[in-house]
Amino acid sequence: MRRWLFLLLLFLPVAFAPLLPSDIPVIFAAPEHVLAAPESWWDEVNLISRLIMGEATGEPFAGQVGVGAVVLNRTRHPQFPNTVPGVIYEPGAFESVSNGLIWSAPPSAVNYRAAELALNGWDPTYGALFFWNPAKPVSPWIWTRTIITQIGSHVFAR
């Protein structure tokens, strides 16, 4: 009996579909300007935490969150890709991606926590789009950016 009831409920909509009017308005249409959702929130946490591990190992916790915040700030800026993977994999954007360091070891729990806090809105960089370590060789162009703050050995700028 249960099996027949199940089959009846399963195929009932199919049987009566031709009888429904074809001009039923769509009530819940997504606006055209809405961006596609990421594969999953976890994918973004994982990717940002790998970048934090590669770019900010040994930096203070706020500096690690700052690296994640820079990624998210870039997704909202018209000069950069509008997705986390697009920003992170942009050619030449991050040294740890270019040299493969983000895949050399798994991120730590601290890296994951920093990524989560950045995704939840903490931005200790106040909207920075760039960061660099002034003790390492960098392009002279980066010094033309407006410096916002320094956290640990990273300078954050717009």
pLDDT digits (tens, 9 = 90+) for 114-149: 999 999 999 999 999 999 999 999 999 999 999 999
- Whether 110 is covered by a domain: the verdict is yes
Q: With the CA atoms of 137, 130, 58 and 121 taken in that order, what torsion angle do they form, in degrees rounded to the nearest 10? A: 180
Q: Domain tally for the chain?
A: 1
- Whether 11 is covered by a domain: the verdict is no
CATH of the domain at 91: 1.10.10.2520
pLDDT tens by residue, 36-90: 445 688 899 999 999 999 999 999 999 999 999 999 999 999 999 999 999 999 9
- Whether 49 is covered by a domain: the verdict is yes
* β partners of residue 149: 156
Q: Are 56 and 67 within 8 A, CB to CB?
A: yes
- Whether 137 is covered by a domain: the verdict is no
Domain limits for position 89: 41-130
| Type and span of the H or E element at 80 | none
- Whether 139 is covered by a domain: the verdict is no
- Whether 9 is covered by a domain: the verdict is no
Q: Are 84 and 144 within 8 A, CB to CB?
A: no
Q: What pLDDT is recorded for position 41?
A: 84
State the pLDDT confidence band at 108, using cuts at 50, 70 and 90: very high
- Whether 19 is covered by a domain: the verdict is no
- Whether 2 is covered by a domain: the verdict is no
Closest CA to 68 of 86, 47, 89, 93: 47
